[in-house]
Amino acid sequence: MKTRLIFIRHAQAEGNLTRFFHGWTDSALTDLGHKQAGLAAKRLKGENISAIYSSPLKRAVQTAEYISEETGINIRIDENLKEINGGDWECQPFSDLPVKWPEEYDTWENKPHLHTMPNGESMIYFQNRLLSGVNEILNRNAGKSICIVTHGTSIKALLCHFMECGLEKMSLIKWSDNTAITKVMHFQGSWEVESDGDSSHLGREYSTILNQPWWEEYIKELELKRTAARFQVKASDNRMAGTGGK
């Protein structure tokens, strides 16, 4: 029995706008975030969604409310869908992280499988928490299309599992824009990523990342990392290939 999971990153929140780290920090949507959420909800209206699950954090719930209004489906809150607990990184400017925590920032950027937030969660624990929530959702909704509203790091960590590439390759997976949509099919214990980080409903006008100065440099660095790792996404099966990966 095939089950489709439709993951959506929450709309733009205060931390996305100001470039402060917000893991468990419970920030609200910005004005642009509300517009993004409305556009995403309209995009998802024809997806035959049977259930909506959301992280309990305000930015995710507010995004899910737009989808709920469009579909008429109530929101179910799942604590396991929360963003990573950033510990001491919470509410810190991204620009300060490599200065105050150089070792932790290095693992965050380059060795995510070894990363532990200072006084927060490790990436391994975080991924396992997410998978616990996703597997429970699967068990309750076999054969249906489910919308899951969660967070940027959450989607990257889950994609490592779905694409069978391990957390070692997490830094090679591109960040999704706010309200970007990732569709995954589950069948007989296997995963297939149908689409990853689709934010075409936003265009440039309503995008967060395309209108921020850090994004262009990030993409250049990402392509260099992928080239060095001989890393690519196979169009044929949406699985990731790279040195040492499956």
Which tens digit of pLDDT belongs to each residue from 73-113? 999 999 999 999 999 999 999 999 999 999 999 999 999 99
What phi and psi, each to the nearest 5 degrees, are found at residue 198?
A: -80, 110
Asked if the model's pLDDT at residue 215 lies above 60, the reply is yes
Q: What is the CATH number of the domain that holds 200?
A: 3.40.50.1240
Q: How big, in percent rounded to 5, are the helix, strand and coil portions of the chain?
A: 45, 20, 35
178 found inside a domain = yes
58 found inside a domain = yes
Looking at residues 194-199, what average pLDDT do you find? 96
**Residue 100: both structure tokens together:** 């105050």
What is the chain's Cα-based Rg?
Answer: 17
- Asked if 230 and 213 count as a contact pair (C-beta separation under 8 A), the reply is no
Per-residue pLDDT, 233: 54
Looking at residues 167-194, what average pLDDT do you find? 96
CA neighbours closer than 13 Å in the CB half-sphere of residue 18? 14
**Residue 94: both structure tokens together:** 């991204």
| Range name among 62-76, 124-138, 225-239 with the lowest pLDDT average | 225-239
Determine what percent of the chain is predicted with pLDDT higher than 90. Answer: 91
216 found inside a domain = yes
| Range name among 24-38, 128-142, 194-208, 232-246 with the lowest pLDDT average | 232-246
Complete edge-to-edge strand list for the sheet that includes strand 75-77 = 75-77, 51-54, 145-150, 3-9, 181-187, 190-198
Quickly state the pLDDT bin for 230 (edges 50, 70, 90). confident
Asked if the model's pLDDT at residue 234 lies above 70, the reply is no
Q: Mean pLDDT of all residues in the chain?
A: 93
Which tens digit of pLDDT belongs to each residue from 28-80? 999 999 999 999 999 999 899 999 999 999 999 999 999 999 999 999 999 99
Per-residue pLDDT, 235: 33
Dist. CA 84–CA 122, nearest whole Å = 8
76 CB-near residues (< 8 Å, 6+ apart): 51, 52, 53, 54
29 found inside a domain = yes
Per-residue pLDDT, 232: 59
Quickly state the pLDDT bin for 231 (edges 50, 70, 90). confident
DSSP H helices in 120-202 = 123-140, 152-162
Asked if the model's pLDDT at residue 246 lies above 70, the reply is no
Quickly state the pLDDT bin for 16 (edges 50, 70, 90). very high
Q: How far is CA 234 from CA 123, 125, 173, 220, in A?
A: 25, 28, 13, 20
94 found inside a domain = yes
Per-residue pLDDT, 237: 34
246 found inside a domain = no
The range of the structural domain enclosing residue 27 comes to 3-241
71 found inside a domain = yes
Q: How far is CA 33 from CA 27, 141, 167, 208, in A?
A: 12, 29, 29, 9
pTM for this prediction: 0.92
Dist. CA 153–CA 151, nearest whole Å = 6
Q: Indicate the number of domains in the chain.
A: 1
